[in-house]
Amino acid sequence: MRTLAQSAGDLAAGTTSRSLVEDCLARILDAAGEGRRVFLKVHADQARAAADYVDALRRHGAAPSRFAGIPVSVKDLFDMAGDVTTAGSVALRDTPAAECDAAAVGRVRAAGFITIGRTNMTEFAYSGVGLNPHYDTPRNPYDRATGRIPGGSSSGAAVSVTDGMAVAALGTDTGGSCRIPAALCGIVGYKPTARRIPTGGALPLSFTLDSVGPLAPTVACCAALDAVMAGEEPNDLAHYRIDGLRLAAPQTMVLDSLEPAVARAYAQALTRLTKAGVRIADLPFVELNDAATLNRQGGFAASEAYAWHRRLIETKGALYDPRVLSRIMRGKDQDATHYIELMRARADLIRRVAAVSGQYDALIMPTAPIVAPPLAALAADEQFHAINLLVLRNTVIANVLDRCAISMPCHRRGDAPVGLMLVGEHGADRRLLAIAAAVEQIVSPGRDES
């Protein structure tokens, strides 16, 4: 995988955007059929034309940013002018094409990034495993022969990056949909504070919990795309001293049912950080258990998804993935009293957690408690629901608390990918990204593994 910085350096040195685009298009076509699972639509002609235009601008010193000409993929949840936004579903195939870009897509294009295509996803973004029965499921690049889940809901986004079909990807995160596929595929996924990046033009799952975020090879890549989508200058991250960094490691349900590979990678990451001078405090943090309680009846996602989908379900419900439909329908039984109580309980939980976490720089925990299981393990509905709840368990905490969070790989090179998650304070996005960049230097695969 090439980083945004490497690609920008190549462009500054004379490499053309057209060559970067052609390389990505070739990977989409040459991936032994994987490209058709990863992309629901490839904008080949538009991408070539945009690349040629950026190359002309660069020759005249008029490129809109140093990242202009770099190919990125876009999750099928976002509106793109002239495209039908299907959100990984067949129920929306006959809806009108979007008249304009989603806000995040428009900002990325304004910076000169080339949108190479629309990536596959869990239908309507409603699961953390990444399965899609309508368009097939992208296979996890770690073990494609076995056929493992990619994680979701931004499944195609993650695989497009790991396979070099795009340099970075635009995704969304309502309960972990950027971080879970990043963790299971071995890249970085970032979930910003919910309102940092506008969600306008992205089909909603939960108006309360939805956030727009990037998936990319490194923390610095995610930081650059995050800044662009937030309407900020993509400046380099401030240096953050690792020595003396204070991290809180919850000793609660986030450590339950860890697979041996995850437990081993997590323990090794903590050991390396401690040796580097990080102060890690093991805390009971029982307050985090209440995040699961808030979602017991489906939480905000079910109630708000049902509010959006109910009319479509009346006419197109038979076209939905039954597993997705059943989760949406949980919202039908929630009334206004339940919703108001849910909002109050969330506000109380945010207050109680802040009282504990305020003296630390970030929380640290495994992103997902398991490595990517084989697709066959999810064939039965009971197993599907159990695994889906398991992979969402840790990541949804940041969404419920309305905080920023990031997942980065921490496994040994050659092992199944494992993600390490840092959770920052509400609105402290650039600070968390700077901390994550420092942590990444210690824990990323290929670093000190002795």
- Give the residue numbers marked as catalytic: 75, 153, 177
CA 29 to CA 44: how far, in whole Å?
A: 11
Per-residue b or e along 39-62, where b marks 16 or more CB atoms closer than 10 Å to that residue's CB: bbebbbeebbebbebbbebbeeee
CA 404 to CA 264: how far, in whole Å?
A: 26
Concatenated DSSP letters for 286-333? GGGHHHHHHTTT-HHHHHHHHHHHHHHHHHHGGGS-HHHHHHHHGGGG
Quick one: tokens of 218? 């490194």
CA atoms within 13 A on the CB side of 150: 32
- Whether the CB-CB separation of 364 and 422 falls below 8 Å is answered with yes
Nearest Cα neighbor of 250 from 292, 209, 281 is 281
Say what the alpha-carbon torsion angle 208, 210, 211, 214 is, to the nearest 10 degrees: 170
CA 70 to CA 115: how far, in whole Å?
A: 9
Task: Look up tokens 């070539």; give the residue.
Answer: 48
Q: In what order do the strands lie in the sheet with 71-75?
A: 39-42, 114-119, 71-75, 168-172, 212-216, 188-191, 405-409, 419-423, 362-366, 246-250, 279-283
Please give the single-letter amino acid code of residue 80.
M
Please give the single-letter amino acid code of residue 403.
R
